[in-house]
Amino acid sequence: MTDDALDFRLLNDFQRDFPLCSAPFAELASRLGVAESAVLRVLEVLRREGKVARVGAVFAPKRIGASTLAAMAVPPEKLDAVAAAVTRFPEVNHNYEREHHYNLWFVVTAGSEGRLQAALGAIELAAGLSLLQLPLLQEYHIDLGFSLDGKTDKAVPGNVLRRAFVPPTPLGEIERRLVMALQEGLPLFIRPFSVLASRVGCDESEVIERIRRWCAEGIIKRFGVIVRHHELGYTANAMLVHDVPDELVGQIGETLAREAGVTLCYQRPRVPPEWPYNLFCMLHGQARAEVEARIAELRARLQLGEYAHDVLFSLTRFKQGGARYA
């Protein structure tokens, strides 16, 4: 297998269903027909190039800790300074400029609702501006991976569901340490779970079993290779928002979630009069015109023209990383 082919297989095929066993990279190598050293070498190169953020867990929103999407309307001449102030907060894991009056959008995550609100207050003080809080109300499709081959498994029953809110899971001390260790991703070593176990203070088998249980319970949405779409050529990133009647938002959200090209779809609250929209979805493409055409086609075919909407393209990525709960 050529290095290019190995790159693609690792980036595309193992964003989920990553082997949870003592020697996962050896298992990947066996499936791919290459040496374990080749898998580790290529993953390290992809990580240095920024194409891979980490190998590890994507936790479900609000299943542990607390989080919210937030937005600020920043005077253009102050945008870089305010974005830098926001980015410095460790609770901020994504921070983007988007085309809109509300031009700075970021995700804030913390270990509890109290800590989240404290972080949001501190961000407002540091920025000298008020912010909109837009917490998740209902998810329809969130971070099930990013297909690089144009295929999708959204039609598989269970992959796109309206998920009722589940209260945050209380964590014991060992579990809290494991979450902290997983925030950094798996170490690219032969026995990565053994390394995590030494950091957490338990057995390797206990680490693997807890991760399996969290995956089964939906606390971890997926475990595998976490890619960066921008570095892989998907540089056109748009947030499509609609103002949908509350009694229809679930039906329309589930329909949008099943559409190819829609990578995220969820309900968040309106904040009148500043923010009238309650249904959000994300689309990524290699060119802006491609994404614009896809949005126009979706709105026409799904008969969404009667609902007010807006399209917020990303302009600048100030920060992108994994959520930090501790």
Each residue's pLDDT tens digit, 251-274:
999 999 999 889 889 999 999 999
| Cβ atoms of residues 35 and 242 within 8 Å | no
At 55-110, the pLDDT tens digits run: 999 888 777 888 999 999 999 999 999 999 999 999 999 999 999 999 999 999 99
Question: Residue 21: what are its φ and ψ, rounded to 5°?
Answer: -150, 175
The answer to whether residues 6 and 117 belong to one domain is no
Is position 167 within any domain?
A: no
C-alpha dihedral (283, 87, 73, 97), degrees to nearest 10: -30
- With a cut of 60, say whether residue 15 has pLDDT above it: yes
DSSP 160: S
The answer to whether residues 72 and 23 belong to one domain is no
- With a cut of 60, say whether residue 143 has pLDDT above it: no
β pairing state of 279-285 and 66-72: unpaired
Strand partners, 71: 105, 132
- With a cut of 50, say whether residue 158 has pLDDT above it: no
The answer to whether residues 36 and 133 belong to one domain is no
Task: Give the total number of structural domains in the chain.
Answer: 2
The answer to whether residues 237 and 104 belong to one domain is yes
What is the spatial distance between Cα 286 and Cα 227, in angstroms, rounded to a whole number? 15
What is the spatial distance between Cα 7 and Cα 30, in angstroms, rounded to a whole number? 15
The answer to whether residues 238 and 146 belong to one domain is yes
The answer to whether residues 261 and 154 belong to one domain is yes
The answer to whether residues 75 and 152 belong to one domain is yes
The answer to whether residues 155 and 238 belong to one domain is yes
Supply the CATH number for residue 137's domain: 3.30.70.3460
Domain span including residue 262: 66-159+230-320
